Amino acid sequence: MAKPLVIQTEDLDPAPAAWLSERCELVRCGAGEKRFEQLLALAEGMVVRTYTKVDGAMLAKGPKLKVIGRAGVGLDNIDLEACRSRGVRVVSTPDANTQAVVEFVWALIFDALRPRLFLSEALEKSHWGEVRRELRAEKQINELTLGVYGLGRIGKRMATMGAALGMRVIYHDLLDIQSDLRHGATPVSRDELLANADILTIHVDGRPSNRNLIDGAAFARMKPDVILVNAARGFLMDNRACAAFFSSHPEAMALLDVHEPEPFGSNYPLLGMENVHLSPHLAAATDRAQENMSWVVRDVWRVLNGENPEHEAK
Ligand code: MLT
């Protein structure tokens, strides 16, 4: 029997790709490539990552599609409703990069709080003393309140770490989370979260209603020296409001790993601001996380083989 055709539109780690190739005809082809539509007409599966947009128009050109595998966590690039109405199942890897993202966010926070200097040459005694005075941190982490916006997998681990470091941890979530699952964090209203967080870290999902969740009104509630971290999705924040806040609050700092759009152009309103640090969507960039995400191929194969997938997006 012919193997089912699966299109791989973005990178996959070699071992999971080889595993799927043993079972399917796996063809690497980006959604913008010329032959994509030809392949889509025949494909039973598609494996995507962060930047392939799966919408109704695309699905209409894939009449045989049974499954979309999202190598990663966020499902904002996939129109779940359109998939549902066409009977296309969507599978993903919800816990694949939790650890990687949490490590990255804490690395950003520690970098922001603790100035450091790595020496490549000996310093004169007077300069040594000067440097030690200049690099004194203004804030110690256990004196600060960590605000976690969204207490999902990543938010919970951020809370655990914050509590372990001696921080007061508060969170806001749409769900009512039972007290033994709060990981040391105290629930507060959205306004309280915004007003009381010294470090505000965003971990909500990318559902359409979360677009511009952090708008001008939200910035207006924040502390003038807040450290804002966004490693979730760029569109959760209003870029112009963000630029206005950080240009008028030089004591505040933004640590932004995700952007709208990605990649951003030279007209990005947050470029070139001293207190806004931009990184190119690196939070999940560890070998382990990348491999974990790529193993979405197991669930893709389960669906094609008539089995139940482990992680199906509903
Ligand atoms: C995710 O949603 O899993 C990440 O944003 C994926 C990525 O880093 O590409």
Domain map (residue ranges) of the chain: 5-96+288-304, 98-285
To test the ligand 1 pocket, which listed residue (50, 77, 78, 286) has its Cβ within 8 A of the most ligand atoms?
50
**Sign of the CA dihedral running 303, 309, 312, 314:** positive
Residue 3 has a pLDDT of: 97
A 10 A CB-CB count for 277 gives 16
Answer yes or no: is pLDDT of 105 > 90.
yes
Structure tokens belonging to residue 119: 């020496």
Q: Report which ligand 1 atom has the smallest distance to the Cα of 206.
A: 2
Check if 70 has its Cβ closer than 6 Å to any atom of ligand 1: no
Residue 52 has a pLDDT of: 98
Answer yes or no: is pLDDT of 244 > 90.
yes
Question: What is the mean pLDDT of the segment spanning 101-128?
Answer: 97
Question: What is the mean pLDDT of the segment spanning 53-64?
Answer: 98
* Reported confidence tier of residue 246, pLDDT bands at 50, 70, 90: very high
Question: What is the mean pLDDT of the segment spanning 229-258?
Answer: 98
Identify which of 148, 233, 231, 247 has the alpha carbon closest to the alpha carbon of residue 188.
148
What's this model's pTM, rounded to 2 decimal places? 0.96
Question: What is the mean pLDDT of the segment spanning 155-182?
Answer: 97
Annotation says 233 is catalytic = yes
Question: Ligand 1: which residue has its CA nearest to atom 9?
Answer: 50
A 10 A CB-CB count for 195 gives 15
Check if 153 has its Cβ closer than 6 Å to any atom of ligand 1: no
Let me know if the fold of 5-96+288-304 is the same as that of 98-285: yes
Question: What is the mean pLDDT of the segment spanning 192-210?
Answer: 97
Check if 292 has its Cβ closer than 6 Å to any atom of ligand 1: no
Answer yes or no: is pLDDT of 177 > 90.
yes
> Per the CATH hierarchy, to which homologous superfamily does domain 98-285 belong?
NAD(P)-binding Rossmann-like Domain (3.40.50.720)
Cis, peptide link before residue 263, omega less than 30° from 0: yes
Give the phi and the psi of residue 254 in degrees, each rounded to 5. -115, 135
Residue pLDDT, tens place only, 247-282: 999 999 999 999 999 999 999 999 999 999 999 999
Question: What is the mean pLDDT of the segment spanning 147-175?
Answer: 98
Answer yes or no: is pLDDT of 172 > 90.
yes
Task: Give, as one character, the DSSP assignment of residue 81.
Answer: H
Residue 17 has a pLDDT of: 98
Answer yes or no: is pLDDT of 213 > 90.
yes
Annotation says 86 is catalytic = no
Give the phi and the psi of residue 213 in degrees, each rounded to 5. -60, -40
What average pLDDT does the chain have? 97
Residue 1 has a pLDDT of: 78
Catalytic-role residue among 157, 233, 259, 311:
233
Question: What is the mean pLDDT of the segment spanning 127-153?
Answer: 97
CATH of domain 5-96+288-304: 3.40.50.720
Euclidean distance between CA atoms 248 and 246, whole angstroms: 5
Q: 132 CA distance to ligand 1 centroid (A)? A: 39
Structure tokens belonging to residue 51: 């930047």
* Reported confidence tier of residue 154, pLDDT bands at 50, 70, 90: very high
Q: 139 CA distance to ligand 1 centroid (A)? A: 31
- 58-87 b/e (C-beta count within 10 Å ≥ 16 → b): bbeebeebbbbbbbbbbbbbbbbebbeeee
Q: 133 CA distance to ligand 1 centroid (A)? A: 40
